[in-house]
Amino acid sequence: MTEVAKRKTGKILAIAGVCAALVVGGIGVATVPGLLAGSTPNGVATTQSTPTQEAKPVELGITPLDGAVEWNPVVGPQIKAVNGKVKDVVLAPVEGGTPVQGKTSADGSTWTTLEVLKFKTQYSYSFTIVDTAGKEIKKTQTFTTVSAAFEADASIYPRNGTVAGSGQPIEINFSEPVVDKAAMEKRVAITVSSGQAVAWHWYSDKKVRIRPEAFWASGTTVTVDMKLLGVDFGNKMIGNGDVVSTFTTGPQRVAVVDDNTKTMNVYFDGQLMHTAPVSLGGEDWLSPTGYAVILEQERKSNFNAGSIGLKPGDKGYYAPMVVDYANRLTWSGVYVHQALESAWGAIGRVNVSHGCVGLLPEDAAWFFNNMKTGDVVQILNTGAPAVEPLEGFGDWNIPWASYAQR
């Protein structure tokens, strides 16, 4: 090989090396200098008689970076060449699978994905860059999308397709802390067929509840549409999917229990439907006041004094028992249920329970069969504090003016 030929070959290799070095890393710009055909690196003319025009330097922007990890799969990869064109782009999972669809701009300068990528996947990204002189440089790089450790999601209650009581707040539980709560609220569209406005109340960075000022109107349809795919919760945690729940509400069913009269009055859409005598919590176990929401119902439920912190020998301890027509109001163990036979004589007269609302068998059966989860029980005049919000769904005990405050 002649000395001139050696120098010319060295120049071409140097150009390829510069491009490869600058293309690695993706975002950022790589400049690929052109080569004047018919010239040697030191400007000495060769035997070619008609030199062609020198290629303009190619400025290249690539996302994501070569070797990038925890890449948000919603942010589509892109290649953009200034003073050049992009061709033969193949973006596919390293472990095999259908290549990702993409499109090239009309001028051939830009390639962009058309699909959302998969989570927890390594991708291979190969393409060819062509400069204005027609010279080509091929490149292959890899990146990996968000791993399981950085995925985030959320759940909605009531669940999609259910019928809920008119007192049931919406609850959203996020798998990871939400750093920007105001931004997250904007990601969630809530549609209420009754037109009732709703407010958000954050109990923690991971739990929020949403309710209207008054109970849901009878027959309301509520849709919660959360656009979380690709959303940054904060701390680099990325939402892995959208979540939607649509539920409807039944009649406004409210049971009002008054300790002064030892009675329960049950109203459906404001109409009195049933009246029953009751017994509430004794002086050592006052029934909580305010609003509570029925959390769950069991035809027969196992009661254990240990669940409220009592052990054998303690005042108020009782042996494990099965209770009929149990309607849970708080997670700590306040129920509306059929009173034990030994307490039937106290119903309507004195309070003998551990905080529960005790009913006679016929009334307990009626309540169980006609009231549903999400319906409201209001307890008055016991002298005890109101039900704490997280003791169940005591959200209605927070004044509306305070409810929306973060």
CATH number of 170's domain: 2.60.40.3710
363 lies in the same domain as 384: yes
47 lies in the same domain as 101: yes
Distance, in Å, from the CA atom of 202 to the CA atom of 183, rounded to the nearest integer, reads 13
130 lies in the same domain as 212: no
User: What domain count does the chain have?
Assistant: 3
228 lies in the same domain as 242: yes
Written as tens digits, the pLDDT of the chain (406 aa) is 444 444 433 333 232 333 333 332 333 444 444 433 333 334 444 444 445 567 788 898 999 999 999 999 999 999 999 999 999 999 999 999 999 999 999 999 999 999 999 999 999 999 999 999 999 999 999 999 999 999 999 999 999 999 999 999 999 999 999 999 999 999 999 999 999 999 999 999 999 999 999 999 999 999 999 999 999 999 999 999 999 999 999 999 999 999 999 999 999 999 999 999 999 999 988 999 999 999 999 999 977 665 666 667 666 656 676 899 999 999 988 999 999 999 999 999 999 988 999 999 999 999 999 999 999 999 999 999 999 999 999 999 999 999 987 6
79 lies in the same domain as 46: yes
Full residue range of the structural domain in which residue 371 is found: 253-403
Q: What pLDDT sits at residue 142? A: 97
Q: Single out the residue in 146, 176, 194 at which a domain terminates.
A: 146
Distance, in Å, from the CA atom of 192 to the CA atom of 296, rounded to the nearest integer, reads 24
214 lies in the same domain as 351: no
Bridge partners for 128 per DSSP = 87, 138
pTM of the model: 0.81
156 lies in the same domain as 140: no
307 lies in the same domain as 381: yes
Q: Single out the residue in 146, 179, 201 at which a domain terminates.
A: 146
105 lies in the same domain as 131: yes
Which CATH number is 322's domain given?
A: 2.40.440.10
Give the type of residue at 257.
Answer: V
Q: What pLDDT sits at residue 315? A: 63
Contact 201, 172 (CB under 8 A): no
Which CATH number is 138's domain given?
A: 2.60.40.3780
CA quadruple 331, 333, 336, 342: dihedral, nearest 10: 170
328 lies in the same domain as 388: yes
Distance, in Å, from the CA atom of 246 to the CA atom of 372, rounded to the nearest integer, reads 18
Q: How many CA atoms lie within 13 A of 118 on its CB side?
A: 16
132 lies in the same domain as 94: yes
Distance, in Å, from the CA atom of 326 to the CA atom of 251, rounded to the nearest integer, reads 21
243 lies in the same domain as 166: yes
Q: Single out the residue in 249, 271, 298 at which a domain terminates.
A: 249
